[in-house]
Amino acid sequence: MATPHSRARLLRSPLFSLALLASPAFADCREDAELAVAFMNQYLVLIVETPERDVTQWLREQPLASAELAEAYAAEQARGRAIDAEMGWGVDLLLDAQDSPDQGFTLAQCGPAPDHVQLRGIDWAEFRVTLRLAETPQGRRVAGAGRINIGEAERAPR
């Protein structure tokens, strides 16, 4: 079982990143897949290394995330806290789950809709999460992940 520190080291490893870039991807979504994998693996490092994290602030500072994602996350988090001040929605909004893979993500499939990719856990293939990419003035960015800006029909099955 990976410890939090060994898990974070693996996710930051240059060889690990190269292995992810070499994973099979369809030509028309390869760049989106690489962007989505990089974003989610950086997010896993954040949640492993920083238990008392401010995800909204991280999203605002994250160069792979769109402003749309950061603002939608903040709004959804506030809605959850209004329902339950301590637990919020009871799940990680970007993962749409309570747990996450230890070894990061790789591409599962392009789709299920245009500008969407679905990732799977490297060490937990059944774990899936959908991300949506969008063009912004700064270039292609993650605009949706997990429960944020992803329609019910496009979300990964649970």
- Report angle CA 100, 102, 107 to the nearest 5 degrees: 75
Q: Does residue 45 belong to any structural domain of this protein?
A: yes
Q: Does residue 150 belong to any structural domain of this protein?
A: no
* CA dist., res. 40 & res. 112, Å (int): 18
For 59-82, what is each residue's pLDDT tens digit? Answer: 999 999 999 999 999 999 999 989
pTM beyond cutoff 0.75: yes
Q: Does residue 124 belong to any structural domain of this protein?
A: yes
| Structural domain for 69, as ranges | 4-145
Q: Does residue 115 belong to any structural domain of this protein?
A: yes
Any idea what DSSP says for residue 29? G
* CA dist., res. 43 & res. 95, Å (int): 9
Q: Does residue 61 belong to any structural domain of this protein?
A: yes
Q: Does residue 13 belong to any structural domain of this protein?
A: yes
Q: Does residue 99 belong to any structural domain of this protein?
A: yes
For 94-150, what is each residue's pLDDT tens digit? Answer: 999 999 999 999 999 999 899 999 999 999 999 999 999 999 999 999 999 999 999
Tally of domains in the chain: 1
Q: Does residue 157 belong to any structural domain of this protein?
A: no
